[in-house]
């Protein structure tokens, strides 16, 4: 019997039909929106009724991109969109025209050290080797915006590594910073789905000084770990002075609304090297606690 090749599919691909649909003969029927293929009909896809489908798409597309890029885990970095690199912070101080603006600029100059820390931490994480399956781990992931987020992606670029940017559509346009790997630069409509993608692959997280957005993302993870919804990962708070000034964690314990052990969910650090050492120790200790599988 001669070799026979069995076709892998008999139906045309969606892309083929989509191309064919463009060449449809113009009639009152084909010109009606009802005749459009559902996945080519933007008015249909953007209906309120289709929100669950858009949720699925916004969950699926980034996941497929990460899988295709062989990304096994990420190192997520949060921080203010208003803390520039030291030279730019100094320029803001030089341009300050009144006492209030000068006082804020002086604080930004002091906090601009965290730009350099985020950049250095990203360099350290990005040098982590691939695993046996060729997957990359501790791939830097930021919100894709400026300042601390830019520093994180920039640090990965410094060592010729790819990095992820998860941007969000805002009323005032926020373009991705130029250091995000273009093929890993993603945009979200739903904050909820963006939050999921920050944490689905996160195996370490660094929170630098920041505002509402940083607090929002950080406290969601602290809550997930506290309630046991996710396994603990290293959570690094850069700059003890900042965090203890803006959040009185000890008072939460004194008020009885969190337990003392909950304060062990995170670790204060003051440098990139210290932060990376915490991550390494966390996983070394975990490996030593886990029993070796039979036959290994």
For the stretch 29-85, pLDDT in tens is 888 999 999 999 999 999 999 999 999 999 999 999 999 999 999 999 999 999 999
When pLDDT is averaged across residues 238-252 and rounded to a whole number, the result is 97
For the ranges 34-38, 170-174, 186-190, the lowest mean pLDDT is seen at: 170-174
Please indicate, yes or no, if residue 42 is contained in any of the structural domains: no
Global pTM reads 0.91
How far is the C-alpha of 193 from the C-alpha of 54, rounded, in Å?
10
Please indicate, yes or no, if residue 274 is contained in any of the structural domains: yes
List, as one string, the DSSP characters of 246-281.
Answer: H--HHHHHHTTSS-GGGGGGSEEESSHHHHHHHHHH
Instruction: Give pLDDT, residue 69.
Output: 97
When pLDDT is averaged across residues 226-230 and rounded to a whole number, the result is 97
Instruction: Give pLDDT, residue 274.
Output: 98
Please indicate, yes or no, if residue 16 is contained in any of the structural domains: no
Please indicate, yes or no, if residue 132 is contained in any of the structural domains: yes
pLDDT at 2 over 70: no
Q: Band of the pLDDT at 171, cuts 50, 70, 90?
A: confident
For the ranges 14-18, 62-66, 282-286, the lowest mean pLDDT is seen at: 14-18
When pLDDT is averaged across residues 182-188 and rounded to a whole number, the result is 97
Instruction: Give pLDDT, residue 237.
Output: 98
Q: Band of the pLDDT at 4, cuts 50, 70, 90?
A: confident
Q: Band of the pLDDT at 295, cuts 50, 70, 90?
A: low
Instruction: Give pLDDT, residue 182.
Output: 97
Q: Give the closest residue to 233 by CA, choosing from 163, 141, 295.
A: 141
Please indicate, yes or no, if residue 18 is contained in any of the structural domains: no
- pLDDT tens digits for range 137-168: 999 999 999 999 999 999 999 999 999 999 99
Please indicate, yes or no, if residue 210 is contained in any of the structural domains: yes
The count of structural domains within the chain is 1
Instruction: Give pLDDT, residue 202.
Output: 98
Please indicate, yes or no, if residue 258 is contained in any of the structural domains: yes
Helices (H), the chain: 14-22, 28-31, 42-45, 51-68, 86-95, 99-111, 113-126, 148-158, 191-200, 212-226, 240-246, 249-254, 272-289
Please indicate, yes or no, if residue 54 is contained in any of the structural domains: no
Instruction: Give pLDDT, residue 294.
Output: 57
Range of the domain at 237: 72-289
Instruction: CATH number of the domain at 95, please.
Output: 3.40.50.450
- In sequence order, what are the beta bridge partners of 205? 76, 235
């Amino acid at each position: 019997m001669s070799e026979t090749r069995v076709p892998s599919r008999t139906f045309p691909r969606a892309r083929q039909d989509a191309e064919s649909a463009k060449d449809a003969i113009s009639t009152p029927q084909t010109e009606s929106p009802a005749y459009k293929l559902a996945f080519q009909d933007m008015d249909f896809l953007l209906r309120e009724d289709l929100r669950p489908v858009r949720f699925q798409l916004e969950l699926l597309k980034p996941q497929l991109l990460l899988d295709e890029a062989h990304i096994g885990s990420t190192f997520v970095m949060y921080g203010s969109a208003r803390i520039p690199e030291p030279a730019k912070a100094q320029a803001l101080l030089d341009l300050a025209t009144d006492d209030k603006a000068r006082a804020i600029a002086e604080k930004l100059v002091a906090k601009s050290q965290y730009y350099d820390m985020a950049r250095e931490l990203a360099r350290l994480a990005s040098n982590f080797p691939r695993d046996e399956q060729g997957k990359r781990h501790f791939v830097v992931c930021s919100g894709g915006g400026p300042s601390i987020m830019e520093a994180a992606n920039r640090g990965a670029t410094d060592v010729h590594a790819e990095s992820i940017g998860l941007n969000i559509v805002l009323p005032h346009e926020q373009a991705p910073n130029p250091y995000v790997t273009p093929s890993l630069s993603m945009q979200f409509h739903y904050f909820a789905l963006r939050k999921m993608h920050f944490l689905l692959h996160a195996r370490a997280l660094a929170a630098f000084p920041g505002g509402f957005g940083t607090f929002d993302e950080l406290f969601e993870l602290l809550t997930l770990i506290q309630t046991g919804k996710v396994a603990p990962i290293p959570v690094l708070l850069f700059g003890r002075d900042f965090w203890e000034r803006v959040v009185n964690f000890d008072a939460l314990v004194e008020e009885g609304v969190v337990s003392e052990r909950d304060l062990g969910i995170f670790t204060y650090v003051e440098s990139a090297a210290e932060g990376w050492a915490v991550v390494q120790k966390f996983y070394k200790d975990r490996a030593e606690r886990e029993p070796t599988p039979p036959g290994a």
